[in-house]
Amino acid sequence: MGDGTENGAGSRGGTGGGTGESLDREIDALRADTPGCARVAHLNNAGAALAPRPVIDAVAEHFTLENTIGGYEAAEVNAAAIDRFYDATARLIGARADEIAYVENATRAWDMAFYAIPFAEGDRILTTTNEYSSNAIAYQQVAEAKGVRVEVVPDAPDGTLSLDALEAELRKGGVRLVSLNHIPTHNGLVNPAAAVGRLCREHGVLYLLDACQSVGQLAVDVREIGCDMLSATGRKFLRGPRGTGFLYVRREVVTTLEPPFLDLQAAEWKAPDGYEPRGDARRFETWERYVAGQIGLGVAAGYAADLGTARIEERVTRLAARLRAALAERPGTTVLDRGARPSGIVTFTVDGHDPGEIKKAAREAGVNVNVTNPAGHGYDPRAVPAAVRASVHYYNTEEELDRLLSALPNR
């Protein structure tokens, strides 16, 4: 199998709505629906995006209700809004509601799936050079505890995971898990998620996809991607509250995975000395949770689905391409992004200027960007120590990109 450029985004443009027309026609209304747009040019969406008004209102209203009538009582009143999270999230990613679990963040969602896998001595985990450092730490912990081998699949020439190399490793056998991030947090590439899914199905191997940076900016369909598990956050491109996330677990594999810890939400107590885990993805939940956040995350998922994830992806990709092209024309500026099909994350350096200095100057100009440390992520020996990360979203404008360019220092 050759190294394709497929991104696993879904040929149907996701499961969301939308008219098929560009979001450009709606940009004024979308920005008016985003209070933060009046205050700042926010190009740090890979860190935490600006929430739309319906999400802000949903969280605030439930929190206010909790402190008016009581937390348990508020949950009873808003039970339907709490449950809508499952349907809205399932709709967003092409899943079924019983395959969705609410988790407090993407890292914990990923951990709950990873540590539920019954690894045995000699099992192999295949991952990428661009793996997220938190995931790499978990691999190493399991490797040391259970005698599992962690193996890094080489890159294709464009920097994405090499499908030829992955297929060769799968043919060797002994692979328990293929685990990769859809979009690395520290560069702009999009890994060929659906092509990886086809290979994993052919070889009967579990597939865990970290979609922390892709859900909300790409059209993500778990059926087309073919992953068994997918973790995502609320605070980034999905535009939900901080302290929220979700886990997708395919119905056919959920009962083969026992979470690393269980409580009375995840399992039923069988007196006097037994228990039975739930038969759906909610076995990965805990009873106590940020209820207002769950409601807000459901609203955010519905908001994105209603706009249409293909339309979101088109505008994000176009704005990022414009920014990369403008940066590439600047003397002394190096765009670091790789991949045949870059995402909305744009990383770069300016000769003679520390990325932290650039972040500060941009902030003073009313533009939010962030500093990323690629050398602290994954297994890539070519990574630079630090870079500026500008991550666009559909509510950003070309004028805001120009404001960032104007704030950059000359070489």
Q: Do 336 and 362 have their domain in common? A: yes
Domain boundary among 283, 306, 329: 306
Q: How far apart are CA 379 and CA 381, in angstroms?
A: 6
- Residue 19's pLDDT is 55
Q: Do 204 and 328 have their domain in common? A: no
For residue 27, is it within any domain? no
Q: How far apart are CA 62 and CA 83, in angstroms?
A: 14
- Residue 103's pLDDT is 98
Best CA proximity match to 319, nearest among 403, 388, 397, 214: 397
Q: How far apart are CA 182 and CA 185, in angstroms?
A: 9
Q: Do 255 and 184 have their domain in common? A: yes
Domain boundary among 263, 278, 306: 306
- Residues linked to residue 180 through DSSP beta bridges, in sequence order: 209
- Residue 377's pLDDT is 77
Provide the domain limits for residue 71. 55-306
Phi, psi of 344 (to 5 degrees): -85, 0
For residue 14, is it within any domain? no
Best CA proximity match to 78, nearest among 101, 95, 57, 105: 57
Quick: pLDDT tens for 337-346: 999 888 999 9
Q: Do 331 and 387 have their domain in common? A: yes
Q: Which helix (H) or strand (E) segment is 310 a member of? A: helix 309-328
For residue 21, is it within any domain? no
Quick: pLDDT tens for 76-90: 999 999 999 999 999
For residue 176, is it within any domain? yes
Classify burial at 411, counting beta carbons within 10 Å of its beta carbon; exposed 0-12, middle 13-18, buried 19 or more: exposed
- Residue 104's pLDDT is 96
For residue 7, is it within any domain? no
For residue 327, is it within any domain? yes
Domain boundary among 261, 279, 306: 306
| Tally of domains in the chain | 2
List the chain residues with pLDDT less than 50. Answer: 1-17
Please count the other Cβ atoms lying within 10 Å of the Cβ belonging to residue 53.
12
Q: Do 198 and 333 have their domain in common? A: no
Note whether 177 and 331 are within 8 A (CB). Answer: no
Q: How far apart are CA 216 and CA 236, in angstroms?
A: 8
Q: Do 376 and 295 have their domain in common? A: no
- Residue 6's pLDDT is 41
